[in-house]
Amino acid sequence: MTKRVRLREELSRQRTSLLTEWNFSLVPPSERASYADPADQASNDFEQDLTIQVRTRMIARLKRIERALQLTQTKSYGCCRQCRKAIPYARLTVQPDALFCVSCLARMERQHYGH
């Protein structure tokens, strides 16, 4: 099995588990809202906010994985979008949807935080 095939499989696996989590998060919150206590209601609102945050993150992650899966069909997969150098395989095994190499990422973060 080539490295690329292995990374593709890892991406599909992560995609499947995200989709499973997603379905799980779709359990209607109303099932938990049957307690009429106002304090419970407040914590329920908080839980819903949290659910929205979690879902937003999941969608973002899912999009990155989908894009990476498409990229694996092209030559640019595994290359840094910034410096075009190959991203080390070790890094891709940890984060198969990585778009940047570690040094570019570090540089971008430094620029972002203004140091």
Burial of 68 (0-12, 13-18, 19+ CB in 10 A): buried
When binding is defined by CB under 5 A, the residue of 83, 86, 94, 106 that contacts Zn ion is: 83
Minimum CB separation of residue 90 from Zn ion in Å reads: 15
Contact residue for Zn ion among 12, 82, 91, 107 (CB under 5 A)? 82
Stretch of 6-14, 45-53, 64-72, 99-107 contacting Zn ion, by CB under 5 A: 99-107
Q: Is 104 in the site for Zn ion (CB under 5 A)?
A: yes
Binding of Zn ion by 105 (CB under 5 A): no
Quick one: how far is CA 78 from the chain centroid? Answer: 17
Which residues of this protein are in contact with Zn ion, per CB under 5 A?
80, 82-83, 101, 104
